[in-house]
């Protein structure tokens, strides 16, 4: 027998998870960027949402133009099994492919052509560069 979760409890669990993840990202930053010095395709999403919360939408779109798509996509992906009505599998695949293509296109544009860039690789300050320098594989 399945236990039904109240909306209030569902909301508090989601707010706690979002707050915890947000705190980790604000305190420690992106794990991929920290380790490799390369920004990930979602780089700037936290800064975009912080700017949007300050109602600075031009800065939010500068940091990541796809920031409005993140909450609905994440919520749908996390809860699609329990939704009373969900998209047909073909439509889900089409939406996932469109979102992936948009992320890839935005990422490549921002990485190689956007001036000034909201994201920039920084190999020198990465943990991997420090580790390789420490073991002598790469000169400091």
Phi first, then psi, for residue 96 (nearest 5°) are -65, -40
pLDDT band at 140 (very low <50, low <70, confident <90, very high): low
Provide the pLDDT for residue 104: 93
The pLDDT of residue 87 is above 60: yes
pLDDT tens digit string along 6-57?
A: 777 777 887 888 888 778 777 777 778 888 888 888 888 888 988 999 999 9
H or E element that contains 130: helix 127-135
Give the number of other CB atoms < 10 A from CB of residue 49: 19
Look up tokens 């796809």; give the residue.
66
pLDDT tens digit string along 103-127?
A: 999 988 888 887 777 777 777 777 7
Weakest-pLDDT range from 27-31, 90-94, 100-104: 27-31
pLDDT band at 101 (very low <50, low <70, confident <90, very high): very high
**Of 22, 13, 41, whose CA–CA distance to 119 is shortest?**
41
Task: List all residues 6 or more positions away from 25 whose beta carbon is below 8 Å from its beta carbon.
Answer: 46
Q: Alpha-carbon torsion 91, 74, 120, 59, what sign?
A: positive
Provide the pLDDT for residue 139: 59
pLDDT band at 97 (very low <50, low <70, confident <90, very high): very high
For 106-112, the CB contacts below 8 A with 24+ separation are: 106/41, 106/64, 106/65, 106/66, 107/41, 107/43, 110/44, 111/39
**Of 136, 106, 123, 120, whose CA–CA distance to 42 is shortest?**
106
The pLDDT of residue 1 is above 50: no
3-state secondary structure of 15: helix
């Amino acid at each position: 027998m399945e236990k039904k979760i109240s909306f209030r409890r569902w909301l508090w669990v989601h707010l706690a998870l979002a707050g915890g993840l947000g705190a980790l990202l604000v305190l420690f930053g992106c794990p991929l960027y920290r380790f490799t010095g390369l920004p990930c395709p979602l780089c700037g999403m936290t800064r975009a949402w912080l700017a949007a919360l300050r109602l600075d939408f031009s800065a939010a779109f500068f940091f990541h133009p796809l920031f409005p798509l993140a909450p609905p996509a994440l919520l749908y992906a996390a809860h699609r099994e329990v939704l009373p009505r969900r998209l047909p599998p073909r439509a889900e695949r089409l939406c996932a492919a469109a979102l992936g293509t948009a992320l890839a296109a935005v990422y490549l544009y921002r990485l190689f052509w956007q001036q000034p860039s909201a994201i920039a690789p920084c190999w020198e300050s990465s943990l991997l560069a420090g580790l390789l320098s420490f073991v002598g594989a790469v000169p400091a």
